[in-house]
Structure 1
Amino acid sequence: MKILVLNAGSSSVKYRLFDMSDRAVLVAGLIERIGEESPHHHYRLGRADPIDVKIAGHNHQQALQALFETLSACAMLNDPSELACIGHRVVHGGEYFREPALIDAQVIQHITEVIPLAPLHNPAHLLGIQEAIRQMENIPQVAVFDTAFHQTLPDYAYRYPLPAHLYTEHGVRRYGFHGTSHRYVAEQAAQCLGKPLSETNLITLHLGNGASVAAIKNGESIDTSMGMTPLEGLMMGSRCGDIDPAIHFYLSRALNLSNEAIEALLNKDSGCKGICGENDMRTIHRMAEAGDDHARLALAMYAYRIKKYIGAYFAVLGRVDALVFTGGIGENDAWLRQQCCADMALFGIAIDEQKNLNPTHPCGNIGRDDSRLAILVIATDEELEIAIQAMECLRNRNHSSR
């Protein structure tokens, strides 16, 4: 069974073609600079050397046409009927979707209706979906939503203390993001612990340029740091995370900034970038090692805010089986993991410094023998999780139609 996973952005399409019999990646690629003068298609067949070609990609139609032509030319997809389905990443599903959905006119309508909640993402996802349907009209298409995993949050966790009509009429609530990643690593963590996911309590930390933490009780998300938008929560590469909301009004009055300027400042020029001028954690470490005090402050703030959420989610969960680090930073930054776990004996967290420097793959426990909970480093795979969920969606449809 072959499943193609598409992640369509406004000027790019990221994809993977899986053979789900053994979950092998047959092709992984990225088409970028769609609509610009020199769009490029970067792809790799299995573990072969990467290939980079210039294409005619002035719109998503041409980009996807180039993608399917490449798959055919490489004999990875000789006929469309070889595809079991196409799985699409969709950032926002609002309150409509708790599970992946087989795409039809109603699903497209719901994705369209929540565009105001994800104006930078959902329109691009829709372009990819509509073009994939046009070019592969007989192939089932499945939408997998970043927000779906967090739809199990209780109302007292997802509601904001604002007038009720803002929720009931305008959808102002906590939705949470990175749900595909949190779900994937939660499943992997339960397997690593040898427990059913339905009996496992976790704190999962997805740490990349965007970052979020989730409290998972008996396999379900009951709280998460990102809110109505991905701006809330942890300090990130260029996003501020939690701040006093009145800062918005102060900036407007004191600096005469427009809403658009403040939104750009908080999303693109804050976080680590705002403190030290850089948002790449590797660069920030090099700067700190060279004596840059701003970089040192950025690192200290980043780790400190993560620790606060860990403590809060211990209080929410009561019992924690494992702390899980994932994402580009979570998987690769030993210093940060050590800082997040330092002086946490109150919670039974004890990190093994040697294991932390070289965690085993794919699920490394870097906790000491006397740690009351596992401290896991797990490589996330959102594309594989999308493929798995798409396959389950198809099976459920086939089962219900019998």
Structure 2
Amino acid sequence: MHTLCLNAGSSSIKFAVYGGQGDDLTRQLRGAIDGIGQEHGRAWLKDADGRMLEDARGEFADHAAGIRVLLDQFHERVRHVDAIGHRVVHGGRELTQPTVVDDQVLEELRDVAPFAPLHVPHQIAVIEAVRQQYPKLPQVTCFDTAFHRRMPVLARRFPLPDEYWERGLEKYGFHGLSYEYITRRHPEAVAGRTIIAHLGNGASLAAVRDGEPVETTMGFTPTGGIVMSTRTGDIDPGVLLYLMRTENLASDDVDRLVNRSAGLLGVSGLSSDMQTLLNVEGENESARLAVELFCYHARRHIGALAAVLGGLDQIVFTAGIGEHAAEIRRRICVELGWLGVEFDEERNAGHAPIITRDGSRCRVHVIPTNEEWMIARHVGELVRLEA
């Protein structure tokens, strides 16, 4: 079986082709359509070894145009696809597990779209474009919120009147496909009381007990939680009310501020890229402050999640920063001795799978995540069942 996995963002469509079924899945191709809606776009494709197969420049008016280019321009490469899986950021209350796309699912997605207006409408557009071009090709939606639906009500409830709870305003959590991959593929790393730190451009942490979700840092939207590349993380809503009143900010202005102009970029005034900030922090005080704020927020939330779990047995670092930025892991972990973390500088610098000393009461793992593998796994299960 060959599965095309699609991940539509606000201005891009990342994709990968996996072959095989069950846990025996191999990535054969990967690529992206970048710069959607911008003057200069790019479509590229690499093989399993990372060799560039296609690299074209163009202009892609919207996501539907981008997916048409993918299916047309790369047709010879991906023509044997049996099914398509989509990462969908938000499933709301009703869409709580991977689901084969039909008219009813699309209608439910349209109802959920206001919860994630920067993502879900684009993902719907991609699904509809595929349906139009290949109406018989099975499509499966995989939701980033689904993993967290098993959290207790106490963790999901906001301190708002009941009417808002009834309207679906609650903590949904995100990065669920990443957390699901870690818990499914590496159960030994999440045995007992565990915090998984998905640290990338978007960053969140999740508390799990024997692999089952207990709490997470992102809330109703992916804006909450710890400081991120361009997002604020948690912030006193009074700050936003003050700015709306004194600077006449409209909702779109607030959206841009908290999602695109804040975080590492806003504090440093230089870049949203962690490695760039690490490279210059020695001579740039604002860059140093941004990096320290990120690590401080991560430690603070680890402490809070450990309190929810009643202690801590393991930590897992994953995603771009978590997997590759040894210095960030170091700054977070060296302050966690009170939780039983006996940090090993040498193992961490060498990106070892375990970066604590032998016998550490709390073990710390570094595990690469793979959301696309998880999507392909779900697609294989559902399409086989449907057949």
> For the aligned residues, what is the CA RMSD?
2.0
TM-aligned CA deviation for residue 397 of structure 1: 3.8
How far residue 389 of structure 1 moved from its aligned partner, in angstroms, is 1.7
Q: 2:242 aligns with which of 236, 239, 250?
A: 250
Alignment of 1:372 onto 2:365: no
Paired residue for 1:209, among 174, 178, 201?
201
In the alignment, structure 1 residue 183 sits paired with structure 2 residue 180: yes
1:189/1:324 contact within 8 Å kept: no
Indicate whether 1:68 and 2:71 are aligned: yes
1:259 matches 2:251 = yes
Q: Which residue of 2 aligns with 1:114?
A: 112
Quote the residue 1:2 is aligned against.
Answer: 2
2:330 to 338, 341, 346: 338
CA distance in 2, matches of 1:175, 1:207: 18
Alignment partner, residue 32 of structure 2? 30
Determine helix, strand or coil for the equivalent of 1:83: coil
Relative to the length of structure 2, the TM-score reads 0.93
The whole-number CA distance in structure 2 between the counterparts of 1:45 and 1:284 is 31
User: Deviation of residue 200 (structure 1)?
Assistant: 4.3
Bigger drift between 104-113 and 43-52 goes to 43-52
Q: Which moved more, 1:269-278 or 1:88-97?
A: 269-278
Structure 1 runs not aligned, ≥5 long: none
Shift, 1:44, TM fit = 0.8
Quick check: 1:357 aligned with 2:349?
yes
Q: 1:355 to 1:270 in 2, by over 3 A?
A: same
Aligned to 1:173: 170
Query: Structure 1, residues 310-337: CA drift from partner, whole Å, max 9, x if none?
Result: 1111111125332011111111111111
Q: Which runs of structure 2 are paired with 1:214-233 in the superposition (5 Å)?
A: 214-233=206-225
Shift of 1:83: 3.0
Encode CA deviations 1:346-402: one digit per residue, 9 max, x unaligned.
Answer: 211111100000123xxx01111131122111111111111112212234445xxxx
Q: Distance in 1 between matches of 2:249 and 2:17?
A: 45
Q: Which runs of 5+ in 2 are unaligned?
A: none
SS in 1 for 2:186: helix
The separation in 1 between residues aligned to 2:214 and 2:304, in whole angstroms, is 13
CA contact 1:55–1:66 (8 Å) conserved in 2: no
CA distance in 1, matches of 2:36, 2:262: 28
Contact 1:202 1:321 in 2 (8 A): yes
Cα contact 1:215–1:317 (8 A) shared by 2: yes
Q: CA deviation at 1:259?
A: 2.9
- Partner of 2:365, secondary structure, is strand
Deviations 1:211-237 (A, max 9, x none): 100011222212110010111110111
Structure 2 vs 1, CA of residues 12 and 275 (structure 1 numbering), >3 Å: closer, same or farther? closer
Question: 1:84 corresponds to which residue?
Answer: 82
Moved more, 182-191 or 201-210: 182-191
Name the CA distance, whole Å, in 1 between partners of 2:284 and 2:71. 48
Q: What is the TM-score when the length of structure 1 is the normalising length?
A: 0.89
Residues 247-281 of structure 1, C-alpha deviations (whole Å, 9 max, x = no match): 11111233333332222112122112221112111
SS in structure 2 of the partner of residue 371 of structure 1? coil
Q: Which residue of 2 aligns with 1:54?
A: 57
Query: % of aligned pairs identical?
Result: 37
1:365 alignment partner, SS class = coil
Say if 1:18 and 1:26, in contact at 8 Å, map to a contact too: yes
CA contact (8 A) 1:39 1:58 kept: no
Separation of aligned partners in 2, 1:292 and 1:119: 35
Q: CA deviation at 1:84?
A: 3.1
| Native 8 Å contact 2:311 2:339 kept in 1 | no
Partner SS state of residue 105, structure 2: helix
Q: CA deviation at 1:189?
A: 3.1
Kept after mapping to 2: 8 A contact 1:186/1:204: no
**Aligned residue identity for 1:120:** L
> What is the rounded CA distance, in whole Å, between the counterparts of 2:317 and 2:148 in structure 1?
18
Counterpart-to-counterpart distance in 2, 1:160 and 1:267: 21
Partner of 2:147: helix, strand, or coil?
helix
Contact 2:326 2:351 (8 Å CA) reproduced: no
State the Cα distance separating 1:31 from its structure 2 match: 1.5
In 2: Cα distance, 1:300 partner to 1:36 partner? 33
Please give the alpha-carbon distance, in whole angstroms, between the structure 2 residues aligned to 1:25 and 1:66. Answer: 21
1:42 is aligned to 2:38: no
Letter in 2 for 1:373: C
Distance 1:120 1:395 in 2: 32
Q: 1:287 to 1:37 in 2, by over 3 A?
A: closer
Which of 278, 281, 284 aligns to 2:274? It is 281
Q: How does 1:123-162 map to 2 (within 5 A)?
A: 123-162=121-160
